[in-house]
Amino acid sequence: MKQDQTPVFSHTVNQTMSHIDKDLNPTMVDVSEKKQTLRMASARSVILFPEEVMKCVQGNDIQSPKGSVIHTAIVGGTQAVKKTWELIPFCHPLMIESIKFSFQFKDNELILECTVKNTGKTGVEMEALTGASVAALIVYDMCKAMSHNIIITQTVLLVKQGGKSDVCFSSL
């Protein structure tokens, strides 16, 4: 995060870790008593390319047996969202109701965002972060033959809505 980008929190910082019990053992959070609410989270990954690689990506010139770079990133990112609970310890398996990806080219950067929604007892921010991260990794994987000078510069939560609190990073 750049110096001038300040997160805006709708609540104070919690000093306890939700996945550690009173005996300091790792544990899954008990959500059995929580009410179901609409949950939404958006995350962003930014990929910096050398100019010659960016021209190919932006022009959708990179085709492989996997497909185009962007389409493959969408498919793989979607799979990652749905498998977050298998990858991240103590994440609950969720019934995902919506996954959307957007891609924007700016200078030599590809800015990709993943937005996830569900109606449930726990948030979807880990799913959005996982989707954005894996989509960025897929872009790297498909472009690395042209250059290893590709940098995933940022993966960040942009918005989390629903549940106890909302979070919005205003200037990211």
Active site (catalytic) residues:
141
Among 116, 122, 124, which residue's Cα sits nearest to residue 163? Answer: 122
The per-residue DSSP string of 19-32 comes to TB-TTS-B-----T
Query: For the chain, what is the largest distance between any 2 Cα atoms, rounded to a whole number of angstroms?
Result: 55
The answer to whether the beta carbons of residues 152 and 45 sit under 8 Å apart is yes
